[in-house]
Each structure stands twice: as structure tokens, then as C-alpha cells.
Amino acid sequence: MRSKLLMANWKMNGSLMSIHDLLAECLGKSAEFNKAGIAIFPPNIYIPTVSEQLRNTPWSWGGQNVSEYENGAYTGEISAEMLKDYNCRYALVGHSERRQLYQETNEMVVKKFQRIDATGLIPVLCVGETLKERQHDQTEQVVTQQLESVINPLGISVFEHAVIAYEPIWAIGTGITPTPEEVAAVHGLIRRIIMFYSKNIGEKIAILYGGSVKAVNAKELLNLTEVDGGLVGGASLNASEFVEIMRCIN
Ligand code: PGA
């Protein structure tokens, strides 16, 4: 059986003091909930502090974004190697906020995915459709394209150590979620696509759901057989809420 994963994407939130307190509270309240692997994605500048605080815990951490380049004159960017220096386990790639606000194309996503993989970090590839695409019945097509744009150039073997997060864009930060049936359908599609290329990888890859996951809906969304856990934004900034989500997965 695939083990569950719960990821906290803090986005550009928090301060040195508040993230320390948030993490301490989460760790303190969650001791008995150990069913899901937990990973925290702080803003890059706080990764050293978070890695220090999580050092002797089973929790992991990762970067929200990496440069598609190995190093060089790319002002403001952070490389996968730099994340590795701080023992990051994961890096998000293709998050819809990166795709939409920073015009990241599928081609850039491929390059970033490759850098993350080559560095020995685990890419967490985010895919998902806009509201308009869903209304036009294009969900399947969009998600397939997002996946195949990585599989085709890099080969299926890069998914051996990868995680996929299905995040319908219209559900992110809006409080609106798809129904459990809609989530199950897209997760089923994603697994079928991966299995088409490799049965073995398709059977074991973790496929997470993300988009307005909260304590009130975590049970019905994250415990579906098709869902291997969640990628949580807003609700991960509140310790009680996040711990409650952890409890739901247990
Ligand atoms: P949300 O964000 O939980 O605030 O909707 C999820 C995400 O962007 O990963």
C-alpha cells in the first residue's frame, strides 16, 4: 500500500518568529498522528531555520520553486543544489501560481523538473485545470498535456522518485473544492496515464490533492482510495487546522 503524504505550502507567508511558533505548535500537537509523512515548504529564506527546527524529527522540508539553471547570473534565483545544501527532500514544480503569475510554461516546468531530479531531490509536479477549462470539459486534456509534456522529453523513469499533486486552479485559495467524485476521476486519470508508461511506477507514485483542503473537508477528500494525501496552502498556516487535517488522515 502507498503511504500517505501531507505537504504544507506556506507560500509567501510568515515571519522568522511566526514560522518558528507555528512549527513548534504543529510538532507539539501532532505527536500521536504519525500515519502520513509530513513535508513543509517554507519561503526559501526560512529553509535554514525550518531545517534546524525539524532536524531530529521525521518531518521533511522542501523548496516552493527552483531555477531551471544549475548556476550563474540569474539574479534572485535559487538552484536545486542550494536546496540540497539545506537537506531539502522535495521541491514543488509547476505550481499554478508559478504558471499563472510568473508565466512558467510547460517547457520551463520540464527544465525545473529535470534540475530537481538530477540533484537528487523529489519533484512534486503540480497539475490542474482552470475553471474555464473545466467548464469547457477540457480537464482531461489539460492534465494529460501537463503530464505528457514532462514524460515525453524526460522519459517515465524520472517519475520513479516523484510526487504528483492534482490542484484544480479554481479550488486554490477559493474555499471551493471539487466533489470527491470529481477528485477521484482526475486522480484515476493521472494514475492511468503513468501506468500506461510504466505499470510499476504508476502503482507506487503518490498522487496528492490540493486546493482549499481544510479540516472540514480533509476526511472526505484525502481518504479517497485514489488520493495519497494532500498539498495544503492556507490551512497549513494555522497549527490547529493543520494538525486536524493530520488527524483526518490517521
Ligand atoms: P490552498 O492552496 O490550500 O490555500 O487552496 C493549495 C496550494 O496552492 O497548494
Taking 80 as the threshold, does the pLDDT of residue 167 lie above it? Answer: yes
CA 40 to chain centroid, in Å, comes to 10
Mean pLDDT in residue range 53-76: 97
Ligand 1 atom with the smallest distance to the CA of 231 is 9
Ligand 1 atom closest to the CA of 7, numbered from 1: 9
Ligand 1 atom at minimum distance from 236 CA: 3
| Helix orientation angle between 215-222 and 239-249, rounded to the nearest 10 degrees | 20
Average pLDDT over residues 115-133: 97
Burial class of residue 173 in the structure, from the number of CB atoms within 10 Å of its CB (0-12 exposed, 13-18 middle, 19+ buried): middle
| pLDDT for the residue numbered 85 | 97
| pLDDT over 80 at 86, yes or no | yes
pTM: 0.97
* 93: helix, strand or coil: strand
Band (pLDDT 50/70/90 cuts) for residue 32 is confident
Pocket test for ligand 1, best of 5, 6, 7, 9 (most atoms within 8 A of CB): 9
What would the grid cell of residue 167 be? Answer: 490542484
Higher pLDDT, 34 or 155: 155
**Is residue 31's pLDDT more than 90?**
no
Mutate to test the pocket of ligand 1, among 221, 231, 241, 242 (most ligand atoms within 8 A of CB): 231
What's the one-letter identity of residue 147? L
Beta bridge partners of 38: 6
Clarify whether 161 is annotated catalytic. Answer: no
Q: Is 167 a catalytic residue?
A: yes
Residues touching ligand 1 (Cβ under 6 Å) are: 9, 167, 172-173, 210-213, 231-235
Cα(153) to ligand 1 centroid in Å equals 28
